[in-house]
Amino acid sequence: MTPQPPAPRSRRERPAKPALTYDGIVATAVRLMETEGLQRVTMRRLAQELDTGPASLYVYVANTAELHAAVLEELLGAVDLSPAAARGDWRERLLHVLGSYVRVLFANPGLARSALVARPAGPNYLALVEAVLALLHEGEVPDAQAAWGVDVLLQVATATAAEHSTRDASGDAEGEHDAVVAALREAPSATHPRIAALGDDLVSGTPQERFAWIFRAVINGTKVTPRDTP
């Protein structure tokens, strides 16, 4: 019997790379954000992590902004929407939903700032919008006002998280805050009578108390403020 030639050996020095998928790309981007920060979640850095070229990623994600939106969409799955289906005052339950959204952003400071321009459009984002709209409807907020109100509520929540995350990232956040407080307290009544009249109340309250008041004001305003008709 003629001996068979040996089977050809692979010249690969490492196993074949797994195929790229949208879910895999987003999962890797989330992991990068958690370990290195959102500023490091770029197309080039992500391609390096996935052992591929940036051009391969553009088949799935158009640019870094879209990538950040996809990361935000993934993390929105952690928002607690259960208060939307519970009983009790609809305003307070809406406040709990918005508070959960803000806490998700607080847990990811870079994402809070990116969320000001990132525009997710996946099922987690749609579920959040639906929950807010359902609560506004339960509160008998007119549909036209609810349609605009949901955008305002989420914008305020996002801006609140972005402001606090930016402050926390500052090397001298406490010093900057103290300087503002001192300027308000020391404003002379002759030139700034209203600042002097309100005094310490301008900087009173905990962040949680101020957050709750802001949203109650926006929620109540959404219900009573009609949209202008052309």
Q: In the chain, what are the domains?
A: 22-61 (1.10.10.60), 81-224 (1.10.357.10)
* pLDDT tens-place string over residues 11-51: 455 555 678 899 999 999 999 988 888 888 889 999 999 99
Instruction: Give the Cα separation of 140 and 132 in Å (integer).
Output: 13
* pLDDT tens-place string over residues 60-95: 998 888 888 999 999 999 999 999 888 889 999 999
Q: What is the pLDDT of residue 223?
A: 95
Helices (H), the chain: 22-36, 43-49, 54-57, 64-75, 90-106, 109-114, 123-138, 143-169, 173-185, 193-198, 207-224
Q: Are 95 and 204 in contact (CB under 8 A)?
A: no
At residue 118, what are phi and psi to the nearest 5 degrees?
Answer: -70, 140
Q: What is the pLDDT of residue 164?
A: 77
* pLDDT tens-place string over residues 124-152: 999 999 999 999 999 999 999 999 999 99
Q: Are 105 and 161 in contact (CB under 8 A)?
A: yes
